[in-house]
A and B are shown apart, each in its own frame.
Chain A
Amino acid sequence: DTGVSQDPRHKITKRGQNVTFRCDPISEHNRLYWYRQTLGQGPEFLTYFQNEAQLEKSRLLSDRFSAERPKGSFSTLEIQRTEQGDSAMYLCASSLALGTGSRDEQFFGPGTRLTVL
Chain B
Amino acid sequence: GENVEQHPSTLSVQEGDSAVIKCTYSDSASNYFPWYKQELGKRPQLIIDIRSNVGEKKDQRIAVTLNKTAKHFSLHITETQPEDSAVYFCAAPLKTSYDKVIFGPGTSLSVIP
Interface residues, chain A, with chain B CB atoms under 8 Å away: 33, 35, 40-45, 48, 50, 55-56, 91, 100-103, 105-111
Contact of A42 with B93 in the complex, beta carbons under 8 Å: no
Q: In the complex, which of the residues A50, A55, A106, A110 contacts B46, with contact meaning CB atoms closer than 8 Å?
A: A106
Query: Are the CB atoms of B101 and A33 closer together than 8 Å?
Result: yes
Task: Please tell me which stretch of B13-21, B56-64, B75-83, B102-110 contacts chain A, meaning at least 4 of its Cβ atoms lie within 8 angstroms of it.
Answer: B102-110
Residue contact B43 to A42, C-beta cutoff 8 Å: no
Binding site for A on B (CB under 8 A): 31-32, 34, 42-46, 49, 51, 89, 91, 93, 96-106
Main secondary structure of the interface of B (DSSP, over half): strand
Decide if A105 touches B104 in the complex (CB within 8 Å). no
CB atoms of A56 and B97 under 8 A apart: yes
17 A-B contact pairs sorted by A residue (CB < 8 Å) = A33-B101, A42-B103, A42-B106, A45-B100, A48-B100, A50-B98, A100-B99, A101-B31, A101-B93, A102-B32, A103-B31, A103-B32, A103-B51, A105-B46, A105-B49, A106-B46, A111-B43
A42-B105 contact in complex given A102-B93, A103-B51, A105-B49, C-beta closer than 8 Å = yes
Cα A41 to Cα B93 in complex, Å, equals: 18
Q: Are B43 and A55 interface neighbours, CB within 8 A?
A: no
Smallest distance from the beta carbon of A28 to chain B beta carbons, Å?
A: 17
With A50-B98, A91-B44, A101-B93 known, 6 other A-B pairs at CB within 8 A are A42-B103, A43-B103, A100-B99, A102-B99, A105-B49, A106-B101
